[in-house]
Structure 1
């Protein structure tokens, strides 16, 4: 696999999709000229008393043309696929240094920055809460968000204040100056049909680099999380 970053475009020179060379025809391959020459030779040497049916020659020529057209189509499709992957990789390299939201329960809070979160609330609830744990697994803050409607809930947290769906909540961290920069785990719980349920979360993370896999798929290497498929990204953050 080859890695891409925002300041090094030379990596494309190392991608196999750019290094493909035109294949040299093999000596044992039957080209169009050789096929026509063979067919003419066959006509010249046929038994004049029992000539071969022209239909058979036409069928052979049609079959050869079909195979040749199919081969050209495959080559054109391979070229299109390679160009598409290269273009996709170039666009993905612009994500390096940006923040994306992906399914995870762990995020890094950087000084002066925020952690964005997206939670899918399956049904309206009156007791949704968020628990925050530090790297040691200790509960460091708990936020009660009360009643929340069904649907996507978007949150932003800077270690001190909490914002839900664009509105700043009245809640403030129990730590006077907020929590310090570090890695934190989020657990969002709600009562669904009378059962306390942990909801799936998607949190923000910075893109450190982009990797092109051997099959052409793009993998984002995220800070504090690791490798995540580009297809799993829920949101590209500003």
Structure 2
């Protein structure tokens, strides 16, 4: 990790570096959409602040210095990088969840081809793969209301999310969150792969099999086993090795 900038808080800088790594990994797995979509991380500063990307930077190029600290009203409160610009749609979606769900520290929103395709299907995500069964009866849906620029949409979005940590935004894309960066990454990875599998299975044109409901629920509970968080951390640590050669860059 690079030396901390003058006046930088060590805990905040560590959070910036971890979030920058997540942006790079989302790019590595081709879940980006030019300068659109966002990932945010709540800061443990007791003030309700969170970090989000500087508008205009590709995920592939994201660094700790490109992340912007904002408050729940979307105002930049960043003393390190006060001139960075934030996308309003990103603020609306992420601020809603951070304000309503203190258990969800990291929120990821994507516009992938597979995610958008499933979001446009009336049945949503179908329980036809093991990856999809992770979300069996544990996936929310939010109807499309246009580009997310209206803060009034926040209440409806949060109401639709309920107690879940993953959601399909109809005719729009995917959203996954977690108690940590590692947890959120695991959720978006599985949700994206489940959508990819569904689109490819439907393209095959044959009859699709679905496990019995009790098997689906059993599998979903298996994903929630006692050692789940340990496995999530192992997966995150392994994923970081894919961008190890970029560490000096993204921690700048």
**TMscore range, shorter length:** under 0.3
Higher strand share: 1
